[in-house]
Amino acid sequence: MGSGQWHIEKRSSFKNDSESIEAENFPENGSLSIIVLGASGDLAKKKTFPALFNLFKQGLLPSNEVHIFGYARTKITDDELRDRLRGYLIPKKGGSSKDLETVSQFLQLIKYVCGAYDAEEGFRLLDKEISKHEVSKHSENGLSRRLFYLALPPSVYPSVCKMIRHYCMNKTDLGGWTRVVVEKPFGRDLASAEELSSQIGELFEESQLYRIDHYLGKELVQNLLVLRFANRFFLPLWNRDNIDNVQIVFREDFGTDGRGGYFDQYGIIRDIIQNHLLQVLCLVAMEKPISLNPENIRDEKVKVLQSIDPIKDEEVILGQYDGYKDDPTVPDDSNTPTFATVVLRIHNERWEGVPFIVKAGKALNSRKAEIRVQFKDVPGDIFKCKKQGRNEFVIRLQPSEAMYMKLTVKQPGLEMRTVQSELDLSYGQRYQDTKIPEAYERLILDTIRGDQQHFVRRDELKAAWKIFTPLLHKIDDGKLKPLPYKPGSRGPEAADELQAKVGYVQTHGYIWIPPTL
d(CA 357, CA 345): 9
Q: Element (H or E) spanning 422, and its range?
A: strand 418-426
d(CA 194, CA 463): 11
Amino acid identity for residue 467 in this structure: I
Enumerate residues 6+ apart whose C-beta is below 8 A from 223. 395, 403
- Residue 264, CA atoms < 13 Å, CB-side half-sphere: 18
The CA–CA distances, whole Å, from 264 to 187, 271, 446 equal 15, 10, 32
Quick one: DSSP state of residue 171? S
Asked if 454 is an active-site residue, the reply is no
Phi/psi of residue 134, each to 5°? -65, -40
Phi first, then psi: what are they for 344, rounded to 5°? Answer: -110, 140
Indicate the pairing of strand 368-375 with strand 243-251.
antiparallel
Beta carbons of 322 and 484 less than 8 angstroms apart: yes
Cis status, amide bond into 185, omega within 30 of 0: yes
Kindly name the residue from 7, 67, 276, 454 that is annotated as catalytic.
276
For the annotated catalytic residues, the residue numbers are 276
